Amino acid sequence: MRILFVSQPRDPIAAGPAQRGSVAIVLWALATWLARRHEVVVLAPRRPGEPVEETAPEGIRVVRVPPPLATLHRLIEGASGLVPGVRPHMARRLYFAGFPARLVGPLATARPDLVHVMTFAQYLPTLARAVPGVPFVLHLHDELLLRLDRRLASARLAPAAAIVTVSAWLADRLSRHVPEHAAKIVPVGNGVDLERFAPAAVDRRGQSTERLLFVGRISPEKGVHVLLDAFARLAPRRPHLRLELVGEPGLLPGAYLQLLERTPALEAALAFYGRGPLDRLRRALAGGRGYLDAIFGRLPPETRPRVTIVGALPHAALVERYRAADLLVAPSVCNEPFCLPVAEAMASGLPCVTSRCGAPPELVGASGPDGFGEAGVAVPPGDAAALAEALERLLDDPARRRAMARAARSRAERLLGWEAAADRLERVYRGLSAGRAPAG
């Protein structure tokens, strides 16, 4: 089968595993596994200086076209996020207008058996006209279509023969939003490198220090302020407790904030972004440092030295952080359609304490009413007291943590390997090529 992937217009694709951006990483990982059994071509935007075409060692052919007016579209995207109630630019047909038309020639030349499009449903009609009769798979990574009017979202999805998502949570939400398309919505999930992220060979029992770990962007919707409030509650009675924050401070662009479902916990976090357009612009220009300073100011002075801001780390260094921790904390106050740090932690044999929203509870198997699951615990988002209580219960129960660690690795091996995700996707492909309804 000849499979053609279409990258996002803002995602350049390198001819190799060193990708930047979560969607590009997912695309390349899936393409790499599929290339073992199929011919794979990737259409991607071209950066200055990149070759128009090259073939990666994995056997994947990358064909590039220049996205029109890329800088202008990024400026419009940033500006649209400063005005509440305005449809995000990325949801409009004008977003990188002209890019799908530039893909038509290479798409028709490739003569694919199937086309796999990342994220942007508004490109499907133009691309489908170039290869009539070829099935299209739309891959959704976020809540963009959930924020659109139901009829508009339904019309955007109509040309897709199958719609695959990064989690069962997102598939369920989308099925309820556009039930007429539910039969062709399939969760294939994401993956993680199970060889790179693996449990430590050394048993850490007997070490006195209790280590909590956060990995991700240090920003309000990630709930870092909730984590520091919970840490402040625990620190006075746990003298050996330490917290590491791995990631860079940074505010999410306003256009992306508009994709998030408004909840009380998220609304409280959005106060850190500013109260009006001018305040939001000022804080956006200042970056995430203001948020970090504000939440550190809420910690008692004697507690602050026990919190370490590590900054961004390459994956090779991140592996050791997971192995050295006792618990990963993912306290997001927004719905995470997947949550890569939770997946990496699980593969590393690290139990997780997450918020009870989005996909993380699904990942750790926390479906029960008490929030406790095989590989971790899910607590109400934005609730520092509940987060502190869950952390303390696990810190006080090493045997339970060890059982969760084993279960975390087992779940990762069963559900989160890239090979498993590619196999689920391939079943969707084969069903379409045989004329059957999508099946995960």
Angstrom distances, CA of residue 144 to CA of 121, 169, 261:
10, 14, 10
Are residues 314 and 389 located together in one domain of the fold?
yes
Please give the residue range of the domain that contains residue 50. Answer: 2-191+417-433
- Sheet of 327-330: strand order equals 307-309, 241-246, 210-215, 327-330, 352-355, 376-379
How many structural domains does the chain have?
Answer: 2
The answer to the question of residue 268 being in a domain is yes
The answer to the question of residue 126 being in a domain is yes
Are residues 421 and 396 located together in one domain of the fold?
no
Query: Which amino acid is it at 173?
Result: R
CATH code (residue 411): 3.40.50.2000
314 in helix, strand or coil?
A: coil
Burial class (CB in 10 A: 0-12, 13-18, 19+), 100: buried
**pTM for this predicted structure:** 0.89
Number of residues that make up the chain:
440
Are residues 405 and 428 located together in one domain of the fold?
no
Are residues 146 and 274 located together in one domain of the fold?
no
The answer to the question of residue 231 being in a domain is yes
Are residues 426 and 297 located together in one domain of the fold?
no
pLDDT tens digits, residue range 136-158? 999 999 988 998 889 999 999 99
Are residues 289 and 387 located together in one domain of the fold?
yes
Are residues 397 and 302 located together in one domain of the fold?
yes
pLDDT tens digits, residue range 177-223? 999 999 999 999 999 999 999 998 776 666 779 999 999 999 999 99
The answer to the question of residue 202 being in a domain is no
pLDDT of residue 88: 66
The answer to the question of residue 183 being in a domain is yes
d(CA 202, CA 259): 42
The answer to the question of residue 229 being in a domain is yes
Are residues 162 and 306 located together in one domain of the fold?
no
**Mind listing the pLDDT tens digit of every residue in the chain (440 residues)?**
999 999 988 889 999 988 888 899 999 999 999 999 999 999 999 988 999 999 999 999 999 998 876 555 456 565 555 555 556 656 666 677 788 889 999 999 999 999 999 998 999 999 999 999 999 999 999 988 998 889 999 999 999 999 999 999 999 999 999 999 999 999 999 999 999 999 987 766 667 799 999 999 999 999 999 999 999 999 999 999 999 999 999 887 776 777 788 899 999 998 888 777 777 767 776 776 888 888 999 999 999 999 999 998 887 789 999 999 999 999 999 999 999 999 999 999 999 999 999 999 999 999 877 889 999 999 999 999 999 999 999 999 999 999 999 999 999 999 999 999 999 999 999 999 877 767 65
Are residues 62 and 106 located together in one domain of the fold?
yes
Are residues 13 and 106 located together in one domain of the fold?
yes
Are residues 411 and 346 located together in one domain of the fold?
yes
Are residues 319 and 385 located together in one domain of the fold?
yes
The answer to the question of residue 205 being in a domain is no
Residue closest to 221 by CA, chosen among 333, 296, 144: 333
* 170: Cα within 13 Å, side-chain hemisphere: 29
Burial class (CB in 10 A: 0-12, 13-18, 19+), 13: buried
The answer to the question of residue 440 being in a domain is no
SS3 content of the chain, % helix, strand, coil (to 5): 45, 15, 40
